[in-house]
């Protein structure tokens, strides 16, 4: 009787220990994967005189093994829409082990209701939010092309 009780207790300990280890590993994997997402090469296309909108572009790199989605963007110069081929979208997908290079005819950010006229050389602060609670910061320089 005592021997079977010890066997059950031993099995319970192993199950609990295995569960704790698996949970810790899963948390570590997810945490490490999300932290590698980066934003770089940000710039804003100089709008024509009098325009209250502009296009912004950022390169987003995802070295992780899971897709990351940019779900929102903010700017210190006005409202921001996520766009793809001229249409408003609810997210921008960044593939695993991949990147998105925003461009005028493809995925980009649309700055709306600009608070002030932009001139070449200005810097615009962009903040991108993702579905994995990673916030990306980028300083976009206003330029012709």
- CATH number of the domain enclosing 126: 2.60.40.1890
* Domain shared by 31 and 48, yes or no: no
* Domain shared by 76 and 21, yes or no: no
Domain membership of residue 18 as a residue range: 1-35
Which carries the bigger pLDDT value, residue 13 or residue 23? 13
- Measure the CA–CA gap between 57 and 92, rounded to whole angstroms: 12
- Measure the CA–CA gap between 93 and 130, rounded to whole angstroms: 10
Overall domain count for the chain: 2
User: What pLDDT, on a 0 to 100 scale, did the predictor assign at position 145?
Assistant: 84
pLDDT tens-digit series, residues 96-126 = 999 999 999 999 999 999 999 999 999 999 9
Is the whole-model pTM more than 0.85?
no
User: What pLDDT, on a 0 to 100 scale, did the predictor assign at position 62?
Assistant: 97
């Amino acid at each position: 009787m005592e021997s079977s009780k010890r066997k059950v207790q031993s099995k319970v300990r192993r199950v609990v220990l295995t569960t704790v280890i698996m949970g810790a590993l899963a948390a570590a994997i997810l945490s490490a994967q999300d932290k590698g997402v980066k934003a770089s090469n940000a710039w804003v296309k100089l709008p024509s005189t009098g325009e209250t909108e502009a296009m912004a572009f950022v390169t987003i790199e995802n070295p992780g093994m899971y897709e990351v989605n940019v779900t929102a963007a903010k700017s210190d110069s006005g409202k921001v829409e996520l766009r793809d081929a001229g249409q408003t979208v609810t997210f921008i997908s960044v593939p695993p082990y991949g990147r998105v290079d925003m461009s005028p005819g493809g995925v980009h950010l649309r700055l709306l209701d600009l608070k002030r006229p932009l001139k070449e050389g200005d810097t615009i602060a962009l903040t991108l939010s993702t579905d994995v609670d990673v916030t990306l910061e980028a300083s976009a320089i206003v330029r012709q092309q």
